[in-house]
């Protein structure tokens, strides 16, 4: 990642310029976002809700991947205040948090190319509160609802721009409910139900994200981290994401690398293994047909080494 850091510093030292790909693909996220190199507004807002403050109009993002339901995200705003309703496909995705999951369940859905199942819905809101030539401040909040537990969990985020460098931070509360059945805990060798003294495990936890980004003309770079402390696992979860986006005419190219340290199992040669380090990459390309239609294709959006297609319609 030394090349990434060198490129980041080079762009950060350049004079500030409005990133044209966010102006052209107007739903890629806030033009002052600390995660504007992400492939969509919903993935950026999921990482930090303050990033959607400058969205204008109404957009519907759809995502299709074989063997899975069609995903929908709604994004809207007036240029100073933006909002998004994010479908429950972000957990255990490339740009999302690693959720608690039974290893055998994970291996089965990975073999079947099934994305992580969750009923959670995320409402994200962002607002620009300060906008000057050399600095700006955007604030955001989120509300996540888990129908299985019937709780609404809040979150708060902020994005600060100083000259050509953007800083972002976001903290939110979340929860989960898992049926342990007869699954075995690989760390103890006992049934999960015995270790946890219940057949239905519930846990509330805090997730924190931090990011720094910069851009120059058509190129954007971001570095982000996600940290979560679970009681379910013996060690904390820590994820680093390096991402870049480049706009060329009507095309938007995305490339990202994910370095994850977690207690979740890893599948190697068709077998579950206990390895804390997991490395993945994402790549994608989008094409704007006109001012209302953007279509794209992406690889490894759900960390399944799968291909998926996206279609964004906006007014």
Hey, which residues does 14 pair with through a beta bridge? none
Q: What is the structure's pLDDT at 173?
A: 95
pLDDT digits (tens, 9 = 90+) for 218-239: 899 999 999 999 999 989 999 9
Place of tokens 């013996």: 234
Quick one: pLDDT band at residue 3, thresholds 50, 70, 90? low
Place of tokens 């819905």: 121
Whose CA is closest to 141, among 154, 129, 128? Answer: 154
Indicate if the pLDDT at residue 4 is higher than 60.
no
Cα separation, 140 vs 123, in Å, equals 11
Cα separation, 217 vs 6, in Å, equals 17
What percent of the chain has pLDDT above 90? 60
Q: What is the structure's pLDDT at 79?
A: 83
Indicate the burial class of 136 (C-beta count within 10 angstroms; 0-12, 13-18, 19 or more): buried
Cα separation, 189 vs 183, in Å, equals 10
Hey, which residues does 126 pair with through a beta bridge? 82, 140
pLDDT digits (tens, 9 = 90+) for 50-65: 998 888 888 899 999 9
- Half-sphere exposure of residue 132, counting CA atoms within 13 Å on the CB side? 7
- Domain extents for the chain? 2-314
Element (H, E) at 6: helix 2-12
* CATH class of the domain defined by 2-314: mainly beta
What backbone phi and psi angles, to 5 degrees, belong to 111?
A: -65, -35
Q: What is the structure's pLDDT at 5?
A: 52
Q: What is the pTM of this model?
A: 0.89
From residue 144, how far is each of 29, 147, 206, 300 by CA, in Å?
20, 10, 12, 25
pLDDT digits (tens, 9 = 90+) for 68-112: 988 889 998 888 899 999 876 689 999 999 999 999 999 999 999
């Amino acid at each position: 990642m030394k090349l990434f850091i060198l490129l980041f510093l080079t762009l950060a030292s350049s004079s500030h310029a409005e990133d044209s790909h966010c102006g052209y693909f107007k739903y890629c996220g806030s033009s002052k976002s600390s995660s504007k190199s992400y492939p969509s507004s919903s993935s950026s807002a999921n990482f930090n809700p303050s990033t959607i403050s400058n969205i204008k109009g109404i957009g519907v993002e759809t995502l299709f991947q074989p063997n899975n339901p069609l995903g929908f995200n709604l994004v809207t705003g007036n240029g100073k205040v933006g909002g998004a309703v994010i479908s429950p496909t972000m957990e255990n995705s490339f740009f999302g948090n690693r959720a608690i999951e039974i290893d055998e369940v994970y291996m089965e859905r990975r073999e079947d190319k099934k994305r992580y199942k969750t009923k959670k819905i995320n409402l994200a809101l962002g607002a620009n509160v300060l906008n000057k030539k050399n600095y700006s401040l955007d604030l955001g909040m989120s509300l996540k609802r888990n129908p299985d537990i019937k709780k609404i969990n809040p979150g708060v985020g902020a994005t600060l721009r100083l000259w050509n460098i953007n800083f972002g931070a976001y903290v939110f509360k979340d929860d989960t409910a898992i049926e342990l059945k007869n699954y075995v805990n690989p760390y103890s060798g006992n049934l999960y139900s015995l270790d946890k003294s219940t057949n239905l495990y519930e846990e509330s936890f805090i997730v924190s994200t931090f990011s720094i980004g910069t851009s120059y003309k058509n190129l954007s770079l971001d570095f982000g981290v996600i940290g979560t402390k679970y009681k379910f696992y013996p060690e904390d979860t820590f994820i680093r994401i390096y991402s870049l986006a480049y706009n060329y005419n009507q095309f938007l190219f995305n490339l990202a690398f994910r370095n994850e340290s977690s207690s979740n199992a890893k599948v190697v040669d068709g077998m579950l293994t206990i390895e804390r380090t997991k490395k993945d990459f994402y790549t994608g390309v989008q094409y704007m047909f006109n001012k209302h239609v953007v279509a794209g294709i992406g690889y490894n959006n759900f960390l399944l080494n799968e291909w998926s297609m996206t279609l964004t319609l906006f007014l």
